[in-house]
Amino acid sequence: MKSPLAVIAIGGNSLILDSKKITVEDQYRAAHETAHHIAALVAAGYRVVITHGNGPQVGFILLRSDLARNVLHQVPLDSCVADTQGALGYQIGQTLSNELKSQNLRKSIATVVTQVLVDKNDPAFSNPTKPIGSFYTEAEAQKHKADSGWVLKEDAGRGWRRVVASPKPLRIVEEDTIRLLLEQDVVVIAVGGGGIPVRENEKGELEGCAAVIDKDLASCLLAKNLKADLFIISTGVDKVAIDFKKPTQRELDQLTVAEAKKYLAEGQFPAGSMGPKIEAAVDFLEHGGKEVIITQPHLLEEAIAGRNGTHLVP
């Protein structure tokens, strides 16, 4: 009988503790802290797949590229995602390996640079809304629009930002490779940043595209297809709450699919924060998943034991 499988999605902000600690060394230290808690899953007997966000890190690459645009070619967005998958996979994998070794747990760890197929006709491409990269003046924005074909929108009086599509993930290209690694009891790091967005051209060939796939939705797709027993979404709060930041705020220990849908319809979980996480959790549970846990990384051990976090159930 196979060990239970857990897919854990950690945010790109999990590797950046605050705005003053953003260097690679700072991120490495944060990765070590996160790895310490993920090791608890391995110690508990789970096979583990780790997915991660990459928003801040892609922003750094885009800024470097922008600053150097008069010296070097700029970096396409799909390549930025691939770069961060390798770099963050290296950090997470190395720190987790060191942590497991300190606990006398021997596990192979592999990072899979992962492509995720999207529909070239997805409506998101007609209405890009996901802001990425730096703020620009209107003159700079018009130049980028003319030179690079970017879509830029004014952002609440703070300046202009590039916006890209956020299409729905359809298929994880390297899914079979991930499955083979899991069968060999390898801890897998995959689908970083929601995956490298790719589309099929007229010949049926894959091509990268300028888009950002939601990390939690892509992680959910992977968890569903692998038939994971547990889907964990790591975030910046201990528990999911309704009436968030209001005097009537109430944290939830448990949430059923019906309750989650009701609160979503009421607007309790905004699209820019908790909404995609709840939607991913509901999708996982409605496709045979048993449990979703939403909590902070440092509470993972307590959450697995049922003493913390929000537990979503069918």
Q: Is 215 a catalytic residue?
A: yes
Rounded-to-integer distance, Cα 217 and Cα 194, Å: 8
Cβ–Cβ < 8 Å for 47, 4: yes
Rounded-to-integer distance, Cα 186 and Cα 181, Å: 5
**Active-site entry in 53, 192, 195, 215:** 215
Q: Is 168 a catalytic residue?
A: no
Q: Is 245 a catalytic residue?
A: no
Q: Is 12 a catalytic residue?
A: yes
How many Cβ atoms are within 10 Å of 188's Cβ, its own excluded? 28
Buried b (16+ CB within 10 A) or exposed e, 137-163: eeeebeebeeeeebbbeeeeeeebbbb
| Start-to-end CA span in the chain (Å) | 24
**Active-site entry in 107, 120, 130, 145:** 130
- Both tokens of 151, joined, read 């879509």
Q: Is 126 exposed, middle or buried (0-12, 13-18, 19+ CB in 10 A)?
A: exposed
- Which H helix or E strand runs over 97? helix 77-102
**Active-site entry in 133, 277, 289, 309:** 277
Q: Is 201 a catalytic residue?
A: no
**Active-site entry in 12, 89, 93, 133:** 12
Strand ranges (E), 15-159: 47-52, 109-111, 115-117, 130-136, 152-154
Q: Which residues are catalytic?
A: 12-13, 130, 215, 277
